[in-house]
């Protein structure tokens, strides 16, 4: 009985111990389970953070890539635009140069045609037409040689026409056809200009005007002779005629001053004695 009792106590003790072990194991299992759940939660939280971090990193990468691509594209587009503008400017410049070349060619062709027409007039000795054509020709883009040849030809034509009309005018004067003579002399002076020999033409024209009872028209030509002093051989004659023109227009003071100038500048002239007489008469009357 005692042994059985002891065995029962032993069994009871073992049961109690087993129970304690079971409780302990249960507690440990609960603890481990809690730990596992905590670990799982941390793992899930870590996974979420990893996903968020990955997403953020991917987003940053995408944005950075987009920015890089955009800058690269802007640079490429800027280079393309610059190259396009440069090519466009070159094209415009080339087109302008081509237009200028065409314009110069057209102007040069027109100038050559007019030069050929002018040369034909020179060959035919058509002086008046040559002079008229020269005014248009000189505006064209001629070469230096063409300019010199044309200028020489026109100068020669002007001189020849002036001499020809001057001689014709003297013929008209001998026939006392004063109006025709005056017209020829005016044309001769137009061609002659202020070169050598123009003073003689002016003097003859002024004399013609006096014969036509037009002393007022003679005065400017006579003054031009005396002021330019290009030919002393006709200056005393011009002063003589000018003094009479002033008398005829009743410009008494101008007439007296002109007589005085003739006497002072040309004391040995054959006009001087009469100039002294005329001056004395004017001083008495006016």
In a domain, residue 128? The reply is yes
Residue 273 has what pLDDT?
92
> What DSSP element (H or E) covers 262?
helix 252-265
| Shared-domain flag, residues 138 and 204 | no
| Shared-domain flag, residues 204 and 230 | yes
| Shared-domain flag, residues 172 and 200 | no
d(CA 149, CA 143): 10
- Where a domain ends, among 128, 147, 176? 176
pLDDT at 186 over 80: yes
| Shared-domain flag, residues 95 and 132 | yes
| Shared-domain flag, residues 157 and 216 | no
pLDDT at 1 over 60: no
CATH number, domain of 244, equals 1.25.40.10
Is-contact 210 245, C-beta < 8 A?
Answer: yes
Residue 131 has what pLDDT?
82
In a domain, residue 52? The reply is no
Query: Could you list the residue range(s) of the whole structural domain that residue 232 is in?
Result: 194-286
| Shared-domain flag, residues 147 and 221 | no
Residue 151 has what pLDDT?
83
Reported confidence tier of residue 114, pLDDT bands at 50, 70, 90 = confident
Q: How many C-beta atoms surround the C-beta of residue 208 within 10 A? A: 25
| Shared-domain flag, residues 218 and 160 | no
CA-based torsion, 67, 71, 76, 81: positive or negative: positive
In a domain, residue 210? The reply is yes
- Where a domain ends, among 176, 208, 236? 176
On whether the pTM is more than 0.75, the answer is no
| DSSP letter for each residue of 60-73 | HHHHHHHHHHHHHH
Give residue-wise pLDDT tens across range 187-198: 888 887 666 568
Instruction: Pick the closest to residue 166 from 151, 148, 186 (CA basis).
Output: 186
Reported confidence tier of residue 200, pLDDT bands at 50, 70, 90 = confident
pLDDT at 276 over 80: yes
Number of domains making up the chain: 2
| Shared-domain flag, residues 198 and 154 | no
What tokens were used for 109? 């062709």
Q: Calculate mean pLDDT across residues 61-71.
A: 76
């Amino acid at each position: 009985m005692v042994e059985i009792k002891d065995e029962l106590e032993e069994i009871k003790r073992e049961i109690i111990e087993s129970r304690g072990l079971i409780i302990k194991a249960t507690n440990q299992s609960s603890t481990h389970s809690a730990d596992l759940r905590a670990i799982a939660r941390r793992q899930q939280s870590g996974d979420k953070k990893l996903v968020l971090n990955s997403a953020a990193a991917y987003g940053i990468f995408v944005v950075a890539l987009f920015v890089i691509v955009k800058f690269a594209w802007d640079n490429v587009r800027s280079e393309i635009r610059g190259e396009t503008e440069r090519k466009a400017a070159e094209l415009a410049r080339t087109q302008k140069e081509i237009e200028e070349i065409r314009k110069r060619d057209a102007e040069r062709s027109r100038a050559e045609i007019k030069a050929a027409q002018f040369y034909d007039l020179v060959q035919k000795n058509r002086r008046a037409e040559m002079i008229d054509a020269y005014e248009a020709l000189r505006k064209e883009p001629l070469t230096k040689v063409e300019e010199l040849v044309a200028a020489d030809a026109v100068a020669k034509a002007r001189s020849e026409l002036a001499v020809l009309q001057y001689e014709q005018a003297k013929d008209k004067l001998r026939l006392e056809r004063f109006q025709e003579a005056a017209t020829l002399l005016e044309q001769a002076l137009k061609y002659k200009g202020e070169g050598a020999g123009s003073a003689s033409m002016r003097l003859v024209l002024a004399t013609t005007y006096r014969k036509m009872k037009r002393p007022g028209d003679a005065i400017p030509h006579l003054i031009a002779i005396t002021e330019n002093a290009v030919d002393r051989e006709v200056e005393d004659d011009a002063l003589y005629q000018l003094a009479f023109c002033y008398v005829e227009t009743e410009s008494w003071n101008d007439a007296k001053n002109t007589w005085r100038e003739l006497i002072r500048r040309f004391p040995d002239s054959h006009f001087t004695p009469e100039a002294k007489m005329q001056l004395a008469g004017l001083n008495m009357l006016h």
